[in-house]
Chains A and B, each alone.
Chain A
Amino acid sequence: MPGFFRRLRARLKYRRFNAELKDELDVHRAMAEDELRVSGGAPDDVQRQAARQIGNVTLARESARGVWLAPWLESVWQDVRHAVQTLAMHRGFTVTAAAMLALGIGITTAMFTVVDALVFRPAPFREPDQLALVLTGNERGVRDSVVPAAIAKAWRESGAFEVVESARPWSGLLEAGDTVVERRMAAVTPGVFDMLGNVRPLHGRLFHEAEGQAGQADRVLISEAIWRTLYGADPALVGASITVDGERLTVVGVLAADFRFPEATTVLWRPADLNQAGESARPYVRFASGIPRDDALRIATDAARAVDARARQVNALALASPVAGLSDDYSTRAVPLLAGGVALVFLVLCANVSSLLLARLTTRRREFSMRAALGASRARLLRQALIESVALGTLSVAGGIGVAWALVSIARAFLPEPILQQTLNPLNIDGRGLLASSAAGLIATMAAGLLPAWLSTRADAGESLRVSGRSGTEPRGARVLTRTLLVTEVALACTLFVGAALLMRSFVNLANADKGLDTVGVTTAWLVLPTIESDPDDETTIRAALARSIEDDLRHLPGVQRLAWSYGIPPEGGFQDDGTWIADEPGAVAASMHLNHYVVSSEFFPVYRIPILKGRSFNTSDGFRDVVVGEHFARALWQDVDPVGRTFRNAAQVQKSTMQPGPQATYRVIGVARELRYPSIDSNSGFDGPEIYHPYTPAGTPMVSLRCEPTCDTAAIRHRLASTHSAVRVQRATITAERYAREIVRPRASAALAVTFAAIAIAAAAGGLLSVLSYAVSRRRREFGIRLALGASPGQIHRTVLRDGLVVAASGLAIGSILAAATARAITSLQYGVTSADPLSWATVLGAIAATAVVASWGPARAAARVDPAVLLREE
């Protein structure tokens, strides 16, 4: 084998190789002459004698060179050169074909990479199948990912799992120099890295076992990502301290940017003793290899029930959930469908390249027949065609790698957080995906490239020369094949386009859906007020004073226009219960509902711009049982009667909150508010129940919502409160619009992708139609010329070609419609406010494709009609 490479190298540097050989022989001769001269001969004699002694120099050189030249290598070399020349000569064709194939390979690889990272690949830890986040819940579908330390401790002692560690993510402020940024962080038990396995710090070390306990919690691990962006990749940062939420913490190590846990965006880890009583966190476990999973979870459920009498009744069922991966319904359904879409695009592009190659069949066939007639063997012709295809394929694969790289970079930067958040895998180009799509692309080009050679070597060379040379029409085989490929392309484009149109309409409907409130410019901070150890009366007064002082502070932040206190904010709502409610009227019918209770200050309605439709908002004299109800609730209890001033009761209620008065308490309606809606593609988002509002009194963990012009900076709110009220903790700060936007992010991503796919497919199909028809017309010029000379009108010729294109489009649309109907049914679950038979979508698709087909056929048709018989005759 090394001999082969030496041979190839000599072949590639052929000129130098030759020159060296010549020089060497010249030197040899000179040396021989030198020696003869020294032994004293006449100059003339010397030369002659040397020549005699040495023999034929040319022969020597030839036979020396012959050692290196293997005949097969020479002829392959010739074929490669021929292929490169052919491709360079038809530059337009080469660039188009290679670009299309490159696009196909690139898109497919990028999509495969993303889907693999999101769906298929397990989290990048040691034996990831054994790792799990344990949820607690009940049989009715309630799930909670956070458990109290007591339960985690019980699990640890129960022996159900090999290891139980905890993590609690939060958003904190990082100060580096003058910049203050908000980033995701996590408090973790020190053993978490050991449980995950394969975690090695880039610099410094991981946490020691005792770190996180009192006095040893002032240290952190940071991610390479912020180490580079915020701290200039300073190696001296390990051992130095940084400011996190106003605290100075020592950096003990830097973790690689690829390490993602517990969330994809976590950039800082702080050790914490999450096993202390009163703490709660997400429990992460590694299953013991000897215990079946069901048994382990049963033991865990029993242990949790034993800890907590309250948990016995409600949520103690232990359930394992993967550490990462797509978990929401929408993505799990959408991602495979989009991957299927990519496959279709790839097929279209391959079909297109094949049809381009086949369109050239007629010319190539003639060339091949000529060469066959001159004595080229069939194997030789096939090999040449193969080499040409491989050259084209290689060009495409190179381009494809570039496209894939670009797309993956784009995906890394622009994929919406809710999607990226779901994987702990870094997004890097997937070698297998690249290999598979490159191989498929190569096979497609090779198949299409080999066909002309196959056909022309099979048929009698003489006949094939004559057919393509004289009659001037397209060969039938080529015609059938190219038209079939084009019909396939149009059908697939139609399918993709219908899917894209439906997804696009769903997205638009969802984005414009009425929410019953205005979220633009609203920001909410979730506060934890300090515990006050005194009698309850004082507590209320002190809290109220604290709330007023916080309120004053926040109202003075730049841009703040309105401020409201509440427990519960849209869309999550406040506390919820399943209850049966009945109006205090004779003959009233009880209504069972999953009700959403908000406890709000009077400014809540203007902050969220929720109109009060009847009655009034709260004033200071209202008690907890004076309520504002949503439209839905009002209609359920009073139908069309004005409910303001009427009263209602809780008929039977599963009591879940201490905030509820006794079951028989009477509520009085003081107003009716516009119904809140939560437009979501997941039919069961759980946020869309009817709501009622209670007046606000300050307590431990309120939310404060601000309406700002234009928007409020969550970091600014945290910063202000940290500096003025250090005892108040900001648990979370969210922009309400972002919370709603979460719902449209995924449909938007799907719609954008689907539209891109459809656009590529349609462009490819149109391009294919154009090039195939142009070729057909150029082949049939002679035929058209004769028909024109015999009296056909240019209009007739025009129609002939146009019909050719439209027949292809119509057949494609017919087949495509059937495929599209199936696709539309498959994506029903991704649709919002639009049916699979949506007339607007279908009309758009069919119209657009038909119009594209006409446009693509128009040029070739016109060219055909303009053939001038006289010019044609003169050419011959």
Chain B
Amino acid sequence: MARSVPPDLLPGTLDLLVLRILTREPMHGYGIAQRLKLLSHDVLQVGESSLYPALQRLLLNGYVDAEWGPSENNRRARYYTLTKAGRKYLAAERDEFNVLIAAIQRVLETA
């Protein structure tokens, strides 16, 4: 069953996922949503109302840059690029996320 994000995700996780996806190449919003769906085997499906606020948040914090460019089927789309600050943030957050997940798992298994 498809799930909507974010209610079921830990806070900040969507930002992290978006940043991770952008590490490979600049992408537009729709592309990010598709990639997220694909990589999560359809588990994570983000709607516009969570994806775009997340992107704006990243823009505001300077983790991504946005630029308009032609898309694969000739539409003008806004492409997001990971910035240096974003890369650093991703690395830090990823470590923290791993610790958190491990902690959750420990609790789930031992309690």
How close is B90's CB to chain A, nearest CB, in angstroms? 18
B78 at the interface (CB under 8 A from A): yes
Of B33, B53, B60, B71, the residue contacting A63 (CB under 8 A) is B53
Q: In whole angstroms, what is the CA distance A68 to B47 when docked?
A: 19
> Are B71 and A31 closer than 8 Å at their CB atoms?
yes
A703 to B73, CA, bound (A): 96
Shortest Cβ gap from B98 to chain A (Å) = 27
Contacts of A61 in B (CB 8 A): 52
Q: Decide: A55 and B48 in contact? CB cutoff 8 A.
A: yes
CB neighbors of B among A52-108 (8 A): 53-57, 59-61, 63-68
Q: Which residue of B lies closest to A2 (CB)?
A: B62
Across the interface, do B77 and A34 meet the contact criterion of CB distance under 8 Å? Answer: no
Q: In the complex, what's the smallest C-beta–C-beta distance from A505 to chain B, in angstroms? A: 68
User: In the complex, which residues 315-338 of chain A have their Cβ closer than 8 Å to any Cβ of chain B?
Assistant: none
By the criterion CB–CB under 8 Å, are B60 and A32 in contact? no
Q: B61 — which chain A residues lie within 8 A by C-beta? A: 3
Whether B60 lies near A67 (C-beta < 8 A) is: yes
Query: Shortest distance in angstroms between B79's beta carbon and chain A's nearest beta carbon?
Result: 11
Contact with A along B24-43 (1 / 0, CB 8 A): 00001110010000000000
B28 pairs with A54, CB closer than 8 A: no
Q: Are B52 and A68 in contact (CB under 8 A)?
A: no
Tell me whether A527 is interfacial, beta carbon within 8 Å: no
Q: Does A742 contact B (CB under 8 A)?
A: no
Residues of chain A with a CB closer than 8 A to B62's CB? 2-3, 6
Known: A3-B62, A27-B78, A31-B71. A60 touches B49 (CB 8 A): yes
B21 CB-CB contact with A under 8 Å:
no
Q: How many residues of A contact B (CB 8 A)?
A: 29
Bound Cα distance A61, B50 (Å): 10
Q: How far is the CA of A31 from the CA of B53 in the complex (A)?
A: 19
State the CA gap A21–B48 with chains docked (Å).
Answer: 11
A68 touches B78 (CB 8 A): no
Task: Decide if A838 is an interface residue (CB 8 Å cutoff).
Answer: no
Q: Is B57 an interface position by the 8 A CB rule? A: yes
* A63 to B55 Cα, complex, angstroms: 11
Interface centre among A3, A20, A24, A66 (most CB of B within 10 A): A24
Encoded as 1 (CB less than 8 Å from any B CB) or 0, chain A from 1 to 39 comes to 011001100000000000011011101101110100000
Query: How far does the Cβ of A699 sit from chain B's closest Cβ, in whole Å?
Result: 85
Instruction: Flag if B28 contacts A63 (CB, 8 Å).
Output: no
B105 at the interface (CB under 8 A from A): no
A55: chain B residues at CB < 8 Å are 47-49
| Residue in B28, B52, B76, B78 whose Cβ sees the most chain A Cβ within 10 Å | B52
Kindly report which residue of chain B lies nearest to residue A25, judged by CB atoms.
B48
Q: Contacts A3-B61, A6-B60, A32-B30: A25 and B52 contacting too (C-beta < 8 A)?
A: yes
> A27-B28, A28-B29, A32-B30 are contacts. A3–B60 as well, Cβ < 8 Å?
yes
Is there contact, CB below 8 Å, between B49 and A68?
no
Residues of the A chain whose Cβ atoms lie less than 8 Å from the Cβ of B33: 28
* Distance of A406 Cα from B62 Cα, bound (Å): 43
Chain A residues within 8 Å of B73, by CB:
31, 34
Complex: A482 Cα to B59 Cα, angstroms: 51
Distance in Å: Cβ of A2 to nearest Cβ of chain B: 6
B59–A6 CB distance below 8 A: yes
The residue of chain A having its C-beta at the shortest distance from the C-beta of B28 within the complex is: A27
Contact across chains for B49 and A56 when beta carbons are under 8 A apart = yes
A2 to B65, CA, bound (A): 14
For residues 291 through 317 of chain A, which have their beta carbon under 8 Å from a beta carbon of chain B?
none
Given the known interface contacts A25-B48, A27-B75, A55-B47, the answer about A7 and B30 at a Cβ–Cβ threshold of 8 Å is: no
Q: Residue-by-residue, is A568-605 near B (CB-CB < 8 Å gives 1, otherwise 0)?
A: 00000000000000000000000000000000000000
The smallest beta-carbon distance between A48 and chain B, in angstroms, is: 16
Q: Is B23 an interface residue (CB 8 A)?
A: no
Q: How many A-B residue pairs have CB under 8 A?
A: 70
Q: How far is the CA of A32 from the CA of B61 in the complex (A)?
A: 28
A contact residues around B28 at 8 Å (CB): 27-28
Is B56 part of the binding interface, using a Cβ–Cβ cutoff of 8 Å? yes
Contact at B57–A67, with CB atoms within 8 Å? Answer: yes
For A20, list chain B residues within 8 Å (CB): 78
Contacting pair B56 A64 (CB below 8 A): yes
In the assembled complex, the Cα of A64 lies from the Cα of B48 at a distance in Å of 9
Q: Could you say which of B30, B53, B77 contacts A64, with CB atoms under 8 Å apart?
A: B53
**Beta-carbon contact of B52 and A60 below 8 Å:** yes
Chain B: CB-nearest residue to A70: B60
- State the Cβ distance, A755 to closest chain B Cβ, in Å: 58
Q: Across the interface, which residues of A come within 8 angstroms of B47, CB to CB?
A: 53-55, 60
Q: How far is the CA of A64 from the CA of B56 in the complex (A)?
A: 6
Q: Please measure, in the bound complex, the distance between the C-alpha atom of A31 and the C-alpha atom of B55, giving whole angstroms.
A: 18
Check if A64 sits within 8 Å of B55, measured CB to CB.
yes
> Measured between C-beta atoms, what is the minimum distance from B55 to chain A in Å?
7
Interfacial residues of chain B within 51-108, with CB under 8 A of chain A in the complex: 52-53, 55-57, 59-62, 71, 73, 75-78
Query: Taking the nearest CB of chain A, how far is it from the CB of B35, in angstroms?
Result: 13
Partner of B77, one of A2, A27, A53, A68: A27
Report how far A673 CA is from B94 CA in the complex, Å.
Answer: 105
Contacts of A25 in B (CB 8 A): 48, 52
Complex Cα spacing A586 to B99, Å: 123
> Within the assembled complex, what's the spacing in Å between the Cα atoms of A447 and B71?
57
Contact of A60 (CB < 8 Å), options: B30, B48, B77: B48
Q: Are B71 and A57 in contact (CB under 8 A)?
A: no
Which chain B positions have C-beta within 8 A of A32?
A: 30
Q: How far is the CA of A31 from the CA of B77 in the complex (A)?
A: 10
A27→B48 contact, CB < 8 A? no
Closest residue on chain B to residue A38 by CB atoms: B73
Contacts A3-B62, A25-B48 hold; do A30 and B56 have CB atoms under 8 A apart?
Answer: no
Query: In the complex, what's the smallest C-beta–C-beta distance from A35 to chain B, in angstroms?
Result: 8
Residues from chain B with a CB closer than 8 A to the CB of A68 are 56, 60
Given A27-B75, A27-B78, are A63 and B30 neighbors across the interface (CB < 8 Å)? no
A781 to chain B, nearest CB (A): 54
Closest to A10 in B: B60
A223 vs B60: C-alpha distance when bound (angstroms)? 53
Residues on the B chain within 8 Å of A21, using CB = 52, 56
> Hey, which chain B residues are within 8 Å of A66, CB to CB?
53
CB distance from B8 to the nearest CB of A (A): 16
Q: Within 8 Å CB of A67, what residues of B?
A: 53, 56-57, 60
Tell me, rounded to whole Å, the shortest Cβ–Cβ distance linking B42 to chain A: 13
CA distance A54 to B50 in the complex (A): 10
Smallest CB–CB gap between A19 and chain B, Å?
Answer: 12
- Complex: chain B residue closest to A62, CB-CB: B49
B77 to chain A: closest residue by CB: A27
Q: Which residues of B contact A30 (CB under 8 A)?
A: 75
CA distance A30 to B48 in the complex (A): 13
Please name the residue on chain A nearest to B34 by beta carbon.
A35
B48 near A65: Cβ-Cβ < 8 Å = no
Chain B residues within an 8 Å CB radius of A34: 73
State how many angstroms separate the Cβ of A74 from the closest Cβ of chain B. Answer: 15
Residues of A within 8 A of B71 (CB): 27, 31
Interchain nearest-CB distance for B99 vs A (Å): 26
Separation of A53 and B51 alpha carbons in the complex (Å): 13
Name the distance in Å between B66's Cβ and chain A's nearest Cβ.
Answer: 8
A-B contact pairs, 7 of them (CB 8 A): A23-B78, A25-B48, A27-B29, A27-B78, A28-B48, A31-B77, A60-B47
Give me 5 other A-B pairs in contact (C-beta within 8 A), A60-B47, A63-B49, A66-B53 excluded. Answer: A2-B62, A6-B62, A27-B71, A28-B28, A67-B56
Contact surface of B with A, Cβ cutoff 8 Å: 28-30, 33, 47-49, 52-53, 55-57, 59-62, 71, 73, 75-78
Q: List the 5 closest pairs (A to B, CB-CB), nearest first.
A: A64-B52, A60-B49, A60-B48, A67-B56, A31-B30
